[in-house]
A and B are shown apart, each in its own frame.
Chain A
Amino acid sequence: MKRKHTTELLTHIPLIALGVCFALPFFWLISTSLKPDAQIFRIPPVWIPHPMRWSNYPRAMRYIPFALYTWNTLRICLFCVIGTTLSCSLVAYSLARLKWRWRNWIFYSLLATMLLPGQVTMIPTFIIFKWLGWIGTPLPLIIPSFFGNAFSIFLLRQFFMTLPQELSDAARMDGCSDWGIYWRILMPLSKPALATVGLFTFIGSWNDFLGPLLYLNDERTYTLSLGLQMFVGQHGAEWAMLMAASTVMTLPIVILFFFTQKTFIQGIAMTGMKG
């Protein structure tokens, strides 16, 4: 019993020390965001601002059209989540549960695209969207998600493979079509996997910078990441406000993560293991 306590303590020491290192940047972010200007430039630093200047937050949100950018970002994220989960689950159903001739061949080419750096397709894709007249609209950031992506298809396929084939067979006996099996049987059973894909997609599009940088040139369509970067470009670094804005921008992701941790980690376990 005593020995167990010692090992637990020995594990806790590095855990805590490392934990502090990992948490410190977050602490610094929030601490700075609440400082009056005079306390930002002080040595030794003020760890806990006194008084806390909460007004940095409304000020930061007035400096850039925060509500508009949030709405723009959210809209792109939501469409991407819908597009990705729908298209990828359809494809995954086909690759995991239906037998057709080129299936494996298609699956391997899909995996191979993971090695293809986005930069190779970046310029021709840009030209396609320019030809379509979509530059300056959020469409180039949304529409591709309706055609699936390798990572999500892979993840969902792996999940579908684990569901017993008898489910489909029984449903087919009862006259259920493939669409019915897909939509009414597999989809409801795959909520954790779908949630994982949705989460990854949401976070990916929320954090995306290169996409908006390439395709959005009208300030009214900016996303948060692009807007924040442009703000720095124009006004230089006003650290307290900038950190307040950064906090507000990361907060939704942090909250989302806290509520969905379990799904998240299960999902990653799925990709890692079958890889």
Chain B
Amino acid sequence: MNGNSIFKSRMARREALEGLLFAGPLLLGLLIFTLFPVLDSLYISFTKYNIFTPPEFIGLQNYRNLVNDSLFWQSLRITTIYSVISVPLQLVAGFAVALLMNQKVRGITIFRTIYYLPSVVSGVAVSLLWVWIFNPDYGLANVMLRAAYLPTQKWLTDPRTALGSFIFMSLWGIGGGMIIYLAGLQGVPQHLYESASMDGANIYQKFRHVTLPMMTPVIFYNLVMGIIGSFQVFTQAFVMTSGGPANATLFYVLYLFRQAFNYFRMGYASAMAWVLFAIILALTLLVLKSSSAWVYYEGERKR
């Protein structure tokens, strides 16, 4: 070994050490706030545990109880319906608005701000605003319906329309997805459009054969994030309806929270959390698996 390579290997070793040091916060964080809680949560899900007395091992009992819990099924049903409707809706609406945003017209930045702003302000204040908007007597939603000579709705106060109201409200927040699409659209290389034009492609063909394929990675990203988000709705349900009326908006995480921190059934809530994790994982894997059929990655051409 000559001096140079000894020096190099020493450099490499030092770099490895520094690498570990710099990543320290992450390694510790993964350990303390992820790995340990995940394992602990799995264990708790097999126990009866109310935080105040030590957990008592009961095997699969929590999971068995879940199967017979009608409110569990209700919450799963509600959340699934919400996800199945709102995710594709947001995907399409966000994309459509992004296409509109991508036009070079005057005042576009102002519009971009207006569309994007609702997705930045969220949480309790916005939830309260929507309770007021959905007020059956004096709310903005019914004011608009009346103006259009349409029948007014009871919105959040009727079990039949409550979940729909949440889906409607979620459309106000499509700005988040829209901005990501917009970034994607602006990243589509201009020369692709130019060569398409030279081949005599019209607007629709350019969209179908250039824009859409180039955007599939972004659609994929928004789809996965949308699915994950839709299964974790909490604040809006807690603030706006606390699950009512007649459990029509008893979102999964709201029910989980209730089991854990109102009834102190930590074991049961942990079992629910694991079922949720399994659902999210399964759906993500499904999307991932399907992605090879419809997601186009530029790098793949080289293969």
The residues of A with any CB-CB pair to B shorter than 8 Å are 8, 11-12, 14-15, 18-19, 22-26, 28-29, 32, 40-45, 87, 90-91, 93-95, 98-101, 103, 106, 109-110, 113-125, 127-128, 130, 144, 146-149, 153, 178, 182, 203, 206-210, 213-214, 224-226, 228-229, 232, 237, 239, 242-243, 245-247, 249-250, 253-254, 257-258, 261, 265, 268-269, 271-273, 275
What are some 18 contacts across the A-B interface (CB < 8 A)?
A: A14-B100, A43-B137, A98-B19, A106-B26, A114-B228, A117-B276, A117-B277, A120-B274, A123-B269, A124-B38, A124-B40, A124-B44, A148-B25, A203-B120, A207-B124, A209-B123, A243-B128, A269-B183
Of the stretches B27-35, B68-76, B157-165, the one at the interface is B27-35
Q: Is B105 an interface residue (CB 8 A)?
A: yes
Given contacts A124-B41, A147-B29, A225-B125, contact A93 B276 (CB under 8 A): no
Q: Are B235 and A210 in contact (CB under 8 A)?
A: yes
Contact A214 B261 (CB under 8 A): yes
A32 to B135, CA, bound (A): 13
User: For the complex, what is the distance from the CA of A251 to the CA of B22, rounded to whole Å?
Assistant: 37
Name the residue of chain A whose CB is nearest to the CB of B147.
A44
Which one of A32, A117, A275 has the greatest number of beta carbons of chain B within 10 Å?
A117
A-B contact count (CB 8 A): 270
- A116 CB contacts on chain B under 8 angstroms: 34, 38, 277
Contact present for A106 and B23 (CB under 8 Å): yes
Are A94 and B231 within 8 A (Cβ)? no
Q: A8-B105, A98-B18, A123-B44 are in contact. Are A272 and B180 (CB under 8 A)?
A: yes
Contact indicator A115/B133 (Cβ below 8 Å): no
Asked if A99 and B113 make an inter-chain contact with CB atoms under 8 angstroms apart, the answer reads no
B29–A237 contact, CB under 8 A?
Answer: no
**How far in angstroms is the closest Cβ of chain A from B36?**
7
Residues of B within 8 A of A (CB): 12, 15-30, 32-34, 36-38, 40-41, 44, 51, 97, 100, 103, 105-106, 108-109, 111-118, 120-126, 128-133, 137-138, 140, 143, 146, 172, 175, 179-184, 186-187, 217-218, 221, 228, 231-232, 234-235, 238-239, 253, 256-257, 260-261, 266, 269-270, 272-274, 276-277, 280-281, 284
Are A128 and B180 within 8 A (Cβ)? no
Residue of B24, B118, B181, B256 near A119 (CB, 8 A) is B256
- Give Cα A182 to B24, complex, Å: 15
CB pair B100 A15 closer than 8 Å: yes
- B20 to A: closest C-beta gap in Å: 6
Minimum CB–CB distance for A201 against chain B, Å: 13
- How far is A142 from B239 in the complex, measured between Cα atoms in Å? 24
Contact B26 A19 (CB under 8 A): no
3 closest residue pairs by CB, A with B: A147-B29, A100-B19, A269-B183
